[in-house]
A and B are shown apart, each in its own frame.
Chain A
Amino acid sequence: MLPLLWLIPAIPFVSAIFLALFGRGLSRRIIAIAGVGSIGLSALISLAIVPEFLASGVPYTQVLWTWINVAGFRPEVAFYLDPLSLLMLVVVTFVSFLIHLYSAEFMEEDEGYSRFFAYMNLFVASMVVLVLADNLLLLYLGWEGVGLCSYLLIGFWYQDAVNGRAARKAFIVTRAGDTAMIVGLFILFHSLGTLQIQDLMHLASAQWPTGSSYATAVAALLLGGAVGKSAQLPLQTWLPDAMAGPTPTSALIHAATMVTAGVYLIARTHVLFALAPEVRLAVAVVGAATLLLAGCSALVQSDIKRVLAYSTVSQIGYMFLALGAGSWAAAMFHFMTHAFFKALLFLVAGIVIEALHHEHDIFRMGGLRKELPIAFWTFLIGGCSLAGLPLVTAGYFSKDFILWGAWSSREGSPWLWVAGMIGVLLTGLYTFRLIFLVFFGPSHTPVTRRPQYRIVVPVVVLAALSIVGGWFKNSLVAFLNTALPPLVDTRAGGLTETLSSVVAALAFLAGLGFAYLFFIRKREFAQSFATGPLLRRLHAFWFADWGFDWLYDRALVRPFLWIATVNRRDVVDDVVTALARWTQTAHYALSRTETGHLRWYAAAVGAGAVIFIGVVLLR
């Protein structure tokens, strides 16, 4: 089965091309079969590869062809499969398949049915290329492909200008990170002479001492790319706006593709980060700060999808925290569980929004527990997994593992642990606020549409995975540690793993309790909070994502627009037009000599001959 590896990105890619070219004339049934079936095949192949890979136990490289061969620069189109990429591959294809199956019904009435599946398939193909890439250039191809597809899908309903703005914002903001990343690749190639990832890792650890300026610069630039793609501080502003796209798109961006690319990049190039302790600390600090800031923002949002978006930013922050603290396996484990429960939450949010006739405001929902029981139970499971319901859900195991790593690792610190714990409290609070507001209390909007089997099946499967996913923690971590350095457990004093888990459980319960108090028992409590002058300002501040958009608007967008207005007649243009005008003047001057008088021509020819001969003779 291993030689079939190339088919995993190829099938969705071919399907995307097929749908893009011929999708217009096809019936919805065929489009759905092509769109969903291609991803299903990919998922099947990647599942079939797993036992064979486990049996062989060594990384597998598949070279397809040489991409470029110029002056010693020879990247190949080659796929590299090791435990890290295998985990990513299986999760990406499988979760994407469930989301596609869901979309087949969810998008049924949309005009752009084939366009949607073409984009989605291309999205998955790009992500698989990114995950499997053997060299950083191919990874960058997948990286940009993912960026392109996110742009296309966020702006899917392009007739509305707001969606177009959101799409452009996502594209431009991630571009800031991508630029940093490509500069990092240039430096890597310039100093080490290759972009092949495994060679790079060997060369870097052989040539660069720990903390050398090259390693630090490269790691910092790669971190820049990861921050942009994974929507971390300070480039997180695009992700909440990316909710403009269709709900399955949000699920795909948040759970399986795109935002986890940054986490994967850092895990993939972990040797570079091990060589740059400052950058590694920066990764952890960025993660901790992001998870707190985004958690606070999630608390006050009123759009169901924006709450989930901020929760994604916050959960990716946990992954960054784990990466920075050196518990690599924990980050990847949390990636997996997060993919399950976040896809689930978005898909159920889609059901709710459809059922209430495109209502996004959680304050206009309510009482859906009876109306949509499947949505309620699956959302409850996903929410519990997100918030970390102790001992049952997958999210608890992965988050607990991250927190323990943050405390005990050589690179960890109690501060990171404290930040993570506050994050758990915030997560519990905003998750159950969402659940209580949407599914409990009085009903505000009548239910108009109920899900059919193609929506219910993926949701139920994901709900099961959100619980079962945590049971394989130990074997999965052992599996990942064959590719990633294991957690170095040094600071065991003062806190045991069990105690850390107990504190996490208490933080979860506190979050749940506060949410119950504010949104079920004493709604007037929350009301009074919202009306106090200071708190209202805080509410507005958090609602606007700590003013980041405002800051960027003032610091970057407006100055740029101002310069564009002032420089409407481009200065550079003036240089070019001056050249053109000068040439034109010379042309008119010369054309005056063309009088049409034969005798003048003869005189000029004669004079020219005399001058030339004179010059030759007298020289």
Chain B
Amino acid sequence: MPSNLILNALLLAAILFGLGLAGLLARRNVIFTLMSIEVMLNAAGVVFVAAGARWGQADGQVMFLFILAMAAAEVSVGLALVLRLYHLYKSLDVDRASMLRG
């Protein structure tokens, strides 16, 4: 594998992660928050796959499968929480759910 490929892959992952973080910080809608987290998780997945290809090991792909499974589980829990949130506040604005403050 050419060495610039991993650089490109890392660059892609960084951009994806940055987009996800920006979305997480900027959007107030809780659905978008969840989606941003998904994007960040996928950025991590890209790094794993690229690293696996770089060193010719299967571990990277195995780790990506784990991340996929975990993301699926997380989304299901997250959506359940979103439903509860909507039920409670009649909106999807995360900033309104700020009762847990010091």
Q: Is the CB of A596 within 8 A of B25?
A: no
Q: Within 8 Å of chain B (Cβ to Cβ): is A528?
A: no
Stretch in B1-9, B49-57, B67-75, B94-102 touching the partner: B94-102
A598 close to B (CB within 8 Å):
yes
Chain A CB within 10 Å, residue with most, of B21, B33, B99, B102: B102
Bound state CA distance, A592 and B33, in angstroms?
24
Q: Which residues of B79-102 are within 8 A (CB) of A?
A: 94-95, 97-102
Q: Is B102 touching A602 in the complex (CB atoms < 8 A)?
A: no
What A residues does B98 contact at CB under 8 A? 595-598
Complex Cα–Cα for A603 and B94 (A): 14
Q: Interface size for chain A: under 10, 10 to 19, 20 to 34, or 35 or more residues?
A: 10 to 19
- Looking at A590, A592, A595, which has the most chain B CB atoms within 10 Å of its CB? A595
A619 adjacent to chain B (CB < 8 Å): no
Q: Are A599 and B99 in contact (CB under 8 A)?
A: no
B95 near A603 with CB under 8 A, answer no
> Which residue from chain B places its CB closest to the CB of A593 in the assembled complex?
B102
Contacts A592-B102, A593-B102, A596-B98 known; A603 to B25 CB distance under 8 Å?
A: yes
Indicate whether B13 reaches chain A with its CB closer than 8 angstroms: no
Q: Given the known inter-chain contacts A603-B25, A606-B21, please indicate yes or no for A598 contacting B94, CB distance below 8 A.
A: yes
Give a binary string over A591-618; 1 marks a CB under 8 Å from any B CB, 0 the rest: 1111111110011001000000000000
B24 at interface (Cβ–Cβ under 8 A)?
Answer: yes
Q: For the complex, give the distance between the alpha carbons of A593 and B24 in Å.
A: 19
Q: Which among A593, A594, A595, A599 is the interface contact of B25 at CB below 8 angstroms? A: A599
The docked-state distance in angstroms from the alpha carbon of A272 to that of B98 is 79
Interface of A is mostly: helix
Contact B28 A594 (CB under 8 A): no
- Residues on B with C-beta less than 8 A from A598 are 33, 94-95, 97-98
**Contact status B24-A591, CB under 8 Å:** no
| Residues of chain B lying within 8 A (CB to CB) of residue A593 | 102
- Over the window 142-183 of chain A, the binary record of Cβ atoms lying under 8 Å from chain B Cβ atoms (1 yes, 0 no) is 000000000000000000000000000000000000000000
In the assembled complex, the CB of B74 is this many whole angstroms from the nearest CB of chain A, namely 15
| Min CB gap B38→A, angstroms | 14
Q: Are A596 and B100 in contact (CB under 8 A)?
A: yes
CB distance from B68 to the nearest CB of A (A): 23
B26 to chain A, nearest CB (A): 8
- Contact, CB under 8 Å: A594 / B21: no
Chain A contacts of B97 at CB under 8 A?
596, 598
Task: Count B-side interface residues using an 8 Å CB cutoff.
Answer: 13
| Identity of the chain A residue whose Cβ is nearest the Cβ of B26 in the assembled complex | A599
Chain B residue at smallest Cβ distance from A591: B102
A599 adjacent to B28 (CB under 8 Å)? yes
| Residue from A595, A599, A602, A606 within 8 A of B101 (CB atoms) | A595
Task: List residues of chain A with CB within 8 A of the CB of B102.
Answer: 590-595
Q: Tell me which residues across on chain B come within 8 A of A596, comparing CB atoms.
A: 97-101
Complex CA–CA separation, A606 to B22 (angstroms): 10
Which B residues are in CB contact (< 8 Å) with A595? 98, 101-102
What residues of A have a CB within 8 angstroms of the CB of B21 in the complex? 602, 606
In angstroms, Cα B32 to Cα A599, docked, is 12
CB distance from A612 to the nearest CB of B (A): 16
Residues of A555-586 contacting chain B, CB below 8 A:
none
Neighbouring A residues of B28 by C-beta, 8 Å: 599
Which of A595, A597, A603, A606 gathers most chain B CB within 10 Å? A597
Q: Which of B1-59 contact A (CB under 8 A)?
A: 21, 24-25, 28, 33
Shortest C-beta distance, B23 to chain A (Å), equals: 10
Q: Which residues of chain A are near B101, meaning CB under 8 Å?
A: 594-597
Docked pose: A598 CA to B97 CA in angstroms: 8
Please indicate the chain A residues that have their CB under 8 angstroms from the CB of B100 in the complex.
Answer: 596
CA distance A590 to B98 in the complex (A): 17
Q: How far is the CB of B37 from chain A (nearest CB, A)?
A: 9
Chain A: CB-nearest residue to B101: A596
Contacts of B94 in A (CB 8 A): 597-599
Question: Taking the nearest CB of chain B, how far is it from the CB of A617, in angstroms?
Answer: 14
Residue in chain B with minimal CB distance to A602: B24
Chain B residues closer than 8 Å to A603, beta-carbon distance? 25
Measured between beta carbons, the chain B residues less than 8 angstroms from A606 are: 21, 25
| Bound complex: CA A428 to CA B28 (Å) | 106
A594's nearest neighbour on chain B, judged by CB, is B102
A52 to chain B, nearest CB (A): 80
Closest CB in chain B relative to A376 CB, distance in Å: 86
In the complex, what's the smallest C-beta–C-beta distance from B29 to chain A, in angstroms? 11
Which B residues are in CB contact (< 8 Å) with A594? Answer: 101-102
B24: nearest chain-A partner, CB-CB: A602
- With both chains docked as a complex, state the minimum distance between the C-beta of B24 and any C-beta of chain A, in angstroms: 5
The B-contacting residues of A in range 74-122, CB under 8 angstroms, are none
Nearest residue in B to A603 (C-beta to C-beta)?
B25
CB distance from A168 to the nearest CB of B (A): 51
Please give the distance in Å from A295's CB to the nearest CB on chain B. 77
Which residues from chain B contact A602 at a C-beta distance below 8 Å?
Answer: 21, 24-25
Measured between beta carbons, the chain B residues less than 8 angstroms from A599 are 24-25, 28, 94-95
The distance in angstroms between the C-alpha atoms of A606 and B21, with both chains bound, is 8
Q: Tell me the smallest distance from the CB of B17 to a CB of chain A, in Å.
A: 10
Q: How far is the CA of A596 from the CA of B96 in the complex (A)?
A: 9
The CA-CA distance from A492 to B90 in the complex, in Å, is 116
How many angstroms from the CA of A598 to the CA of B98 in the assembled complex? Answer: 8
| Nearest CB in chain A to that of B94: its residue | A598
Q: In angstroms, how far is the closest chain B Cβ from the Cβ of A608?
A: 13
Whole-angstrom CA separation of A599 from B29 in the bound complex:
11
Q: For the complex, what is the distance from the CA of A598 to the CA of B101, rounded to whole Å?
A: 10
Measured CB to CB, the closest approach of chain B to A589, in angstroms, equals 10
How long is the Cα–Cα vector from A598 to B93 in the complex, in angstroms?
A: 11
Complex: chain A residue closest to B36, CB-CB? A602
**In the complex, A590→B101 CA distance in Å?**
11
The complex places the Cα of A595 from the Cα of B100 at a distance, in Å, of: 8
* A590 / chain B contacts, CB cutoff of 8 Å: 102
Is there contact, CB below 8 Å, between B25 and A597?
no
A472 to chain B, nearest CB (A): 86
- Please list 5 pairs of residues, one from A and one from B, whose beta carbons are closer than 8 Å in the complex, sorted by A's number: A591-B102, A595-B101, A596-B98, A597-B95, A602-B21
Interface pairs A-B: 8 shortest CB-CB: A596-B98, A591-B102, A596-B101, A594-B102, A598-B94, A596-B100, A595-B101, A602-B24
List 13 other contacts, CB 8 Å, given A597-B98, A598-B94: A590-B102, A592-B102, A593-B102, A595-B102, A596-B99, A596-B101, A597-B95, A598-B95, A599-B94, A599-B95, A602-B21, A602-B25, A603-B25
Show the binding face of B for A, using Cβ within 8 Å: 21, 24-25, 28, 33, 94-95, 97-102
